[in-house]
Amino acid sequence: MQEILQIFINSTEGMTRNLPEYAWPISAVIAWIIFFLLVDWSRLRYTIWGGVFASALQILVDDAAMKMNLYQVKTLISVLGSSVFFTFGVVFAIGVLFAQSLPVSRWLQVFNILVVVALFSVEEYLYVKIGVLKYLNWNHPASIFIDLLVFTSFTWLVEALGLNQAGCVGRGGL
């Protein structure tokens, strides 16, 4: 019996070492559930580009940061070092929803950016605590600053390309 227990422990050791990496697919599933609950299907053929651009922007930023040895990501499946589940789960879904719900008012856009950055900041903090994201030459305030720049730029891109206008009255959501 002791030998069987030891075989079981040895066989599950690899699974428990990889357990934190399951944070990526879990967050992707949560993001896709939120996506399916909130997406405006009539506008998706236009706003899907928000998800594509957000994913591309995230891959570029993360690839550059990891090449500069700022942080590293532990993941099950990666694309240029980033978690596939994060890129095509959380980032893609939020990119589409962000494009669909971008307010017309500049002040509401600022508020929207601050809320999304705060949510991403909490998520990143949890990834660090779980151990799937490790800061090497980086810190959380720097990440918040980069997120502010990225979402401000993304807001401009959504407006400039008109991704938030298709299928709605006026210039976007609110």
Distance CA 145, CA 3 (A): 54
Phi, psi of 173 (to 5 degrees): -75, -95
Judge whether residue 5 has pLDDT over 60: no
Which of residues 4 and 114 earns the better pLDDT score? 114
| Residue 172 exposed, middle or buried by CB count within 10 Å (0-12, 13-18, 19+) | buried
Share of the chain above pLDDT 90, in %: 53
Domain range summary for the chain, segments of one domain joined by +: 23-161
Question: Could you read off the pLDDT of 16-63 as tens digits, one per residue?
Answer: 455 677 888 999 999 999 999 999 998 888 899 999 999 998 999 899
Confidence (pLDDT) at 100: 92
Confidence (pLDDT) at 170: 45
Confidence (pLDDT) at 12: 43
Sign of CA dihedral 156, 160, 162, 165: positive
What the block records as the tokens of 71 is 């942080």
